[in-house]
Chains A and B, each alone.
Chain A
Amino acid sequence: MSARDDILAACRVSRPPGDHPLPELPRFPRPAEDVLSEFQRSLAVMGGQWLRLVEGDDLAAVIRARAPNGLIRSAVPELPAFPRVDAVTRPQDLENVDIAVVRARFGVAETGSVFLSDHELQVNTIAYLAQHLVVLLDPEAIVPGIADAYLRSDFSQARYVSLMTGPSATADIEGVLIRGAQGVRSLTVIFTP
């Protein structure tokens, strides 16, 4: 027999006795706090930053000011001034990017996470090889909880999805928290419709 058939047969023989029904998933109440302020608070806990554009702010200028001489690449149509992420031929070619700009499909208030799939990222590695990540997010596109996020069909419309929550981090050396492990050193959400 093949390994596959052997393993499946062994699991059938070993099947635990008794009925073990699959539970329904209840919807738990969420805090009364509005989702935008909960998102901001949660994101800060995970080391992420956020900013709101004020009247008269130019998005491109706001981002450029964060790295006046750095290489900025964008995966969003509203920033044609920056070279496109998908203009590279290999995912490795993004290694020198200082700031990458992407747009999240939605955010999650409970954790401050943003939904980014291969559609939004264009090249998946941009979200990790860039030194800093700027994520555009429509403040209207925030779901309350992680459980709400997983009821959406967006996950099954992509080959790759990451719920990203703040920048890469590690505490593997004596528990000292360091932002910027192997991925981005900072993640900033800019609220813009």
Chain B
Amino acid sequence: MSAKIHDPVDHAGAAAKFITDEAHLTFHDTRLWEMRQKRDGQMHGVPEWQELRDLASAIKEHTLSRLPEYLEQFEAQAIAHGVQVHWARDAAEHNAIVLRLLRENNAKTLVKSKSMLTEECEMAPFLERHGITLTETDLGERIQQLDNESPSHIVVPSVHKLRADVARVFAKTIGGDPNNTDATYLAEHCRVTTRPLMLDADAGMTGANFLVAETGAVVVCTNEGNADLSANLPKLHIVSAGIEKLIPRQADLGVFVRILSRSALGSPITQYTSHFRGPRDGAQMHIILVDNGRSKRLGQAEFWTSLKCIRCGACMNTCPVYRRSGGLSYGAVYSGPIGAIINPAYDPARYAALPFASTLNGSCTAVCPVKINIHEQLYAWRRIIAEGGLLPAQKALAMRVAGAVLASPTLYRLATAAARMAVRRLPRALLYNRLNGWGRDRELPTPPKESFAAWHARRKKAG
């Protein structure tokens, strides 16, 4: 592995590049806001929406508080229905299990549907290094695979690309007319080139949206039909699932299925809500239950509720910073507000910039269907990162100075008087330079001639 990936993520720097491209920026911003508005439309059509959010949150908190019991119940149910259950402490163990299953079955080709967990485990490059040919079957994920890029959004992986980008990627990799940028043509081209790969695949892989402890069902919510084909065509179906995906009862799906796609895409339900409980005759079904940092996060008082996340992406669609910086600028598997509170749990130094990629407007929290207090967790991470000495140098200096000034009334009065004078009188070059982040791309406000304290003292005297 290169040293580069452990460098701290420069979110602001990557975002600065993203916003220089007007066409991409405008589409990205508009498309995600449209998804947010469609979500609002669905919300207004469900009178019990807020009660569903309360229920979803309570069910998830309950499950997480009794996770060992529910995991054991799920495992017993799955085994009873002929599913083989595996456990992986971390990404390396997960990848090793997948490779072992493929080798035991002499499988050389693998088709898979979208799974953020396999991204998290960096499974695709691992398997390819070991001679497995892996094909992503979700359209957006396939585009990203062919372009050798990570997904930039957990629901719409290639949302940062325009149709001309897709035509260019396809022409370079799977053929097709680079000048035909019609979306229907491009999707059809992907369909006809992917289907033979699915028909011939030795193994199929899916993620999981929910694992039902009561019945052992693996629930997969998708729109394209690719997950059901990947699972139902080959004789080997491997499910990769984080341990936080558990829910207790089948009836709980009556809450979660109602809010997932409404929050994600603003559609009432996904085209396919599929439930896998056991292998077909003559086939195998395996489930890998993966920890990879989750049990540790469960013990973090301020952050354990981030495990409630059902990966709908609503917080990303509503976030003004995400919409204008693009998912790739987060330099992490999970981007947007949810990524900004999940990634630091893995590596606070590397992801120190992410909790600052927010205005703390709270919109993420307001749209979250499982009521994760995302903006409060962002704030908590800022504190931890500052206390850990992990702030970027410029921010650290500013904070140290501000801390000293704000702690002393005398210093504060001096400083505000100086600032009023400075903004009025100093040359622009001194005010708008690299040390003043607030002066970049925006004008500083004209300060009042006197402070509130001075005005108040004058009024009292006159009074």
Contacts and interface: CB of A to CB of B under 8 A. Distances in A.
A77 interface: no
Interface residues of B, number: 89
Interface stretch (A56-64, A67-75, A176-184): A176-184
Contacts of B48: 28
Nearest to B270: A165
Interface stretch (A97-105, A123-131, A134-142): A123-131
Nearest to B290: A7
Contacts of B224: 168-170, 181-183
Contacts of A160: 232, 274-278, 280
B110 to A, nearest CB: 16
Interface in A56-115: 91-92, 95, 110-113
A150 B270 CA distance: 16
A174 interface: yes
A182 B195 contact: yes
A125 B191 CA distance: 16
Contacts, number: 255
Interface string B122-151: 000000000000000111100100000000
A147 B250 contact: no
A164 B166 CA distance: 29
Interface in A142-157: 145-151, 155-156
Nearest to A124: B232
A12 B255 CA distance: 27
Interface in B350-400: none
Contacts of A16: 61, 64-65, 298-299, 301, 304
A95 B274 contact: no
B31 A128 contact: no
A148 B252 CA distance: 11
Contact of A113 (B27, B93, B269): B269
Contacts of A145: 254, 258
B4 to A, nearest CB: 29
Contact of B251 (A150, A170, A181): A150
B84 interface: no
B432 interface: no
Contacts of A92: 199, 233
A52 interface: no
B223 A23 contact: no
Contact of B139 (A19, A22, A29, A170): A170
Contact of B269 (A17, A46, A118, A159): A46
B87 A7 contact: yes
Nearest to B305: A16
Interface in B234-259: 243, 248, 250-255, 257-258
A171 interface: yes
Nearest to B94: A3
Contacts of A147: 251, 254-255, 258
Size category of the binding interface on chain A: 35 or more
A162 B219 CA distance: 9
Contact of B31 (A3, A15, A174, A184): A174
Contacts of A2: 87
A151 B251 contact: yes
Given A125-B233, A165-B271, A182-B194, A23 B58 contact: yes
A51 interface: no
A178 B184 CA distance: 6
| Interface core residue of A2, A20, A46, A182 (most chain B CB under 10 Å) | A182
A170 B189 CA distance: 13
Contact of B268 (A12, A18, A21, A111): A111
Q: Is the interface of A mostly helix, strand, loop or mixed?
A: loop
B296 A125 contact: no
Given A91-B233, A156-B277, A173-B163, A181 B87 contact: no
Contacts of A174: 27, 31, 162-163, 183
A147 B255 CA distance: 7
A193 interface: no
B307 to A, nearest CB: 9
B254 A128 contact: no
A183 B225 CA distance: 5
A164 B191 CA distance: 20
Nearest to A181: B224
A14 B67 CA distance: 10
Contacts of A29: 47
Nearest to B191: A182
A42 interface: yes
A19 B251 CA distance: 22
Contacts of A172: 138-140, 143, 156-159, 187
B186 interface: yes
B254 A170 contact: no
A111 B13 CA distance: 44
B51 interface: yes
A163 B62 contact: no
B31 A7 contact: no
A172 B151 CA distance: 12
Interface string B258-301: 10000001011111111111111000000001010001111101
Contact of A168 (B61, B88, B258, B271): B271
B177 interface: no
Contact of B225 (A8, A26, A128, A173): A128
Nearest to A153: B250
A41 to B, nearest CB: 11
Given A23-B62, A125-B232, A147-B255, 6 more contacts: A7-B71, A13-B299, A19-B65, A112-B268, A155-B275, A180-B187
The 3 closest A-B pairs by CB, nearest first: A183-B225, A14-B299, A147-B254
16 contacts: A7-B295, A11-B243, A16-B64, A23-B58, A28-B47, A47-B271, A124-B228, A127-B228, A150-B252, A156-B217, A159-B276, A162-B273, A168-B224, A171-B156, A174-B183, A183-B226
